[in-house]
Structure 1
Amino acid sequence: MKLVVMIPAYNEEESIGKVIREIPREIDGIEDIEVVVINDGSTDNTEKVAIESGAHHVITHKRNLGLARAFKTGLDYALKLGADVIVNIDADGQYNAKEIPKLISPILEGEADIVIGDRQIDKLDHMPKAKKIGNKIATWVTAKLAGIDVRDAQSGFRAFSRKAAMMMNVLGDYTYVQETIIQAANKGLKIEWIPIKFRKREGKSRLIPNIWSYAKRAGMTILRTYRDYHPLSVFLGIGGILLLVGLIFALRVLIHYIQTGMVTPYLPSAVLAVMLIVVGSITIVFGLVADMLKMQRLMLEEVLYRLKEMEEAETRSKSRQK
């Protein structure tokens, strides 16, 4: 069994060395451990420190592409290395890499496809109240949209089986944490949660400059992901509301017409009713079309998964021949 630990990093020269050195080099059930750092356009010495600290591979983006892109790069590279288990950990040192054996245990025992570290937000004294509230809201929304129990949707300390990693198709460009949970739930992958330690961060977060910016961008990622997997529900809901409001206005006009034989006093309401009914109907039709396109997307994802399997089998075959 091969474990690849991937570390997305952006200007983390002060902490990444400690993170790499903290990664266990011997784990029961694992024969080979490799560390991959995704240097996401850092302008400091992150790459140099990572190499000096023992990273086996450093992949560098020429410019900062964001956490989601860095995560996708790391996941794809880990699969090319032939990883059976992939662990993602942040470069800021808030997660304890010594807990990796505990994190991957459910995967090694065949009990889970994905394991996510639960930071137990309520017990953290060093996390600002505003961030706690934001985390809990995002976790609640993710749980509702994914339809599963979610304890900590924002945790970046997580492990993936090879199968789960090949089924992940990260499309967002900001953060991957909620998107991958919703994807996993819709693909029937089993997620386990384990309690972990979460240290106080030294310095300012590179991902979350302020809570409102994060909430807006992460929220859009969550909504897009849900829309892509449940387009009929989304557009049927929106179209249904527009149609209902339009019918209410239309009923008002109709009652007045029956009573007086005139529409003129309620002409604006009549126009609005027609517009709402037309737009609502078009939205529902659009939802039906989007639902058909969803089936095409699911087929393409299955084809992509099979291609990854074939590519990996070919890579392993060439490796054995050498």
Structure 2
Amino acid sequence: MQNSCIPEKVAVVIPSYCVTAHILKVIERIGPEVSSIYLVDDHCPDGTGRFVQERCRDPRVKFIFNKINIGVGGSTLTGMRQAAEDGADIIVKIDGDGQMDPALIPSFVDIIKKGEADYSKGNRFFEPEGLSSMPLGRLIGNAGLSFMAKISTGYWHVLDPTNGYVAIHASLIDLLPLEKIAKRYFFESDLLFRLNILGGRVVDIPMHSYYADEVSQMKPHREIPRFAYAHLKNFAKRIFYNYFIRNFSVASLELVLGIVLMKFGLIFGLLHWGISEPASAGTVMVAGLPIIIGAQLLLAFLNFDIQSVPRTTLHLRLKASAKTLKPLRHWQNENDGEEFPRITGLR
């Protein structure tokens, strides 16, 4: 666990697009625990960045203007990269439309500061009372997306994957392939997938959202098919990386054998369907037994995958590794950079 006496530099990133009606109130409510605020104007037609520049006197606010519209994910990553380069320790992302309460920032930050998480994210499903204000369409859509995200990201314990209220330890920014992460509405889910590949620990933070007169730019009929395809692709990548490239275990064998046996049983059964009346006991067993065994193997693999959620904090492991490597590098430098010191007196 990190020493809580050491001050952490906290930065907030606000990707902004057509939020002039709410942005000033959002900035006003950000507390003194935040040392810098990065407002990223995503080539906004309403000129959100200029609007804030003319009216806001908070010295913490820094402005980034995108030359073209790159989406909420792209703007968030731009702000996070700049915050990390400026020396931030923990970076929080909130939206500028007033749906996210800035008073919750300490909750998102403290769990990372204490070394209990690498990445904290909001969860609007934690308390049933908080769902009463959520439109029914969003509620149903988020429930379906949560299930798909569990499968694709490997974080089976988290809900509300599209929640944009997040915080991350800045040391992970250099490890993430920022150029590969989705730049628009799939950003949060894709970031979770990338964090799982790294082995980062993710924790949900209970929260409520506030829905007023803001207008969502998302078009569900266009985005849902894209989300489904992207989740399927990330699931295949995660399984390949975690179970066949980085590691090969009993779970890998269970997955392969389960798929092979299920496929064989189904194909054999379909090919012999209706050929003989009635089907012989042997035919039924040859088709049915591989399906049963295959299903059991796939369930065993699923249980292993659920239990494999990252449980240790990556940024603390990185810090410990840096402390270990520092004397090793010094030792190597003293020996002219050789991997091992020269042994004299021996022939």
Compute the TM-score of the two structures, normalised by the length of structure 2: 0.63
* 8 Å Cα contact 1:156-1:177 kept in structure 2: yes
Correspondence 1:108 to 2:113: yes
Aligned pairs (5 A) from 1:127-142 = 127-142=134-149
CA shift at 1:172, angstroms? 1.5
2:169 corresponds to 1:161: yes
- Listed one character per residue, the Cα deviations across residues 107-129 of structure 1 (whole Å, up to 9, x for unaligned) are 11111111112122743222221
Question: 1:49 maps to which residue?
Answer: 51
SS at 1:13's partner residue?
Answer: coil
Distance 2:116 2:20 in 1: 36
User: Which residue matches 1:195?
Assistant: 206
How far off is 1:247 after superposition? Answer: 5.6
- Match among 74, 77, 80 for residue 85 of structure 2: 80
Conserved? CA contact 2:19–2:48, under 8 Å: yes
Kindly report which structure 2 residues correspond to 1:206-221, keeping only aligned pairs within 5 A, or say none: 206=217, 208-209=218-219, 211-221=220-230
**1:185 alignment partner, one of 190, 196, 201:** 196
Deviation readout 1:260-284 (Å, 9 max, x if unpaired): xxxxxxxxxxxxxxxxxxxxxxxxx
Structure 2, unpaired ranges of 5+: 1-7, 245-254, 277-317, 323-347
- Residue aligned with 1:86, SS: strand
Deviations 1:205-226 (A, max 9, x none): 12x23x2223223333323333
- 1:148–1:180 Cα change, 3 Å: same
Provide closer, same or farther for how the CA distance between residues 248 and 73 of structure 1 changes in structure 2, counting only shifts above 3 A. Answer: same
Contact 1:16–1:49 at 8 Å: present in 2 too? Answer: no
Contact 2:93 2:165 in 1 (8 A): yes
Q: Does 1:230 align with 2:239?
A: yes
Where structure 1 has 5 or more consecutive residues not aligned to the other structure, the ranges are 257-304, 310-322
1:172 pairs, out of 174, 182, 185, with: 182
SS at match of 1:5: strand
Please state whether the residue corresponding to 1:35 is helix, strand or coil: strand
Question: Where does 1:269-280 land on structure 2 (aligned, <5 Å)?
Answer: none
If the length of structure 1 is used for normalisation, what is the TM-score? 0.68
Q: How does 1:234-273 map to 2 (within 5 A)?
A: 244=264, 248=268
Partners of 1:226 and 1:250 lie apart in 2 by: 28
Distance 1:240 1:13, change over 3 A: farther
User: Are the structure 2 counterparts of residues 117 and 245 from structure 1 closer, same or farther at C-alpha, using a change threshold of 3 Å?
Assistant: same
From the superposition, tell whether residues 194 and 173 of structure 1 become closer, same or farther in structure 2 (CA, over 3 Å). closer
Return the offset for 1:182: 2.0
Paired residue for 2:294? none
Equivalent residue in structure 1 for 2:101, among 78, 96, 101 = 96
**Identity over aligned pairs, percent:** 23
CA distance in 1, matches of 2:212, 2:142: 16
Contact 1:114 1:161 in 2 (8 A): yes
Task: Report the Cα offset of residue 45 of structure 1.
Answer: 2.6
Q: Which amino acid aligns with 2:226?
A: R
AA matched with 2:27: I
Q: 1:172 to 1:186 in 2, by over 3 A?
A: same
Letter in 2 for 1:173: K
Residue equivalent to 2:150: 143
Gap change, CA 1:251 and 1:215, over 3 Å in 2: closer
Tell me the matched-pair count: 250
> Which moves more between the two structures, 169-178 or 94-103?
169-178
Q: Which residue of 1 aligns with 2:133?
A: 126
- Determine whether 1:14 maps to 2:17: no
Residue identity in the other structure for 1:217: R
**Any idea what the Cα deviations from partners look like across 1:76-120, whole Å, max 9, x if unmatched?**
111111110000001111001111112111111111111112122
Q: For residue 37 of structure 1, what is the amino acid of its counterpart? A: L
Please state how far the C-alpha of 1:243 moved relative to its aligned partner.
7.0
Query: CA 1:40–1:220 in 2, change beyond 3 Å: closer, same or farther?
Result: farther
* C-alpha contact (below 8 Å) 1:71/1:176 kept by paired residues: no
Q: Which structure carries more helix by proportion? A: 1
User: Equivalents in 2 of 1:196, 1:202: separation in Å?
Assistant: 20
Q: For 2:35, what is the secondary structure of its paired residue? A: strand
* 1:232-259 deviation digits (Å, cap 9, x = unpaired): 889979x96997599649966xx99xxx
Determine the C-alpha separation between the residues in 2 that align with 1:225 and 1:68: 17
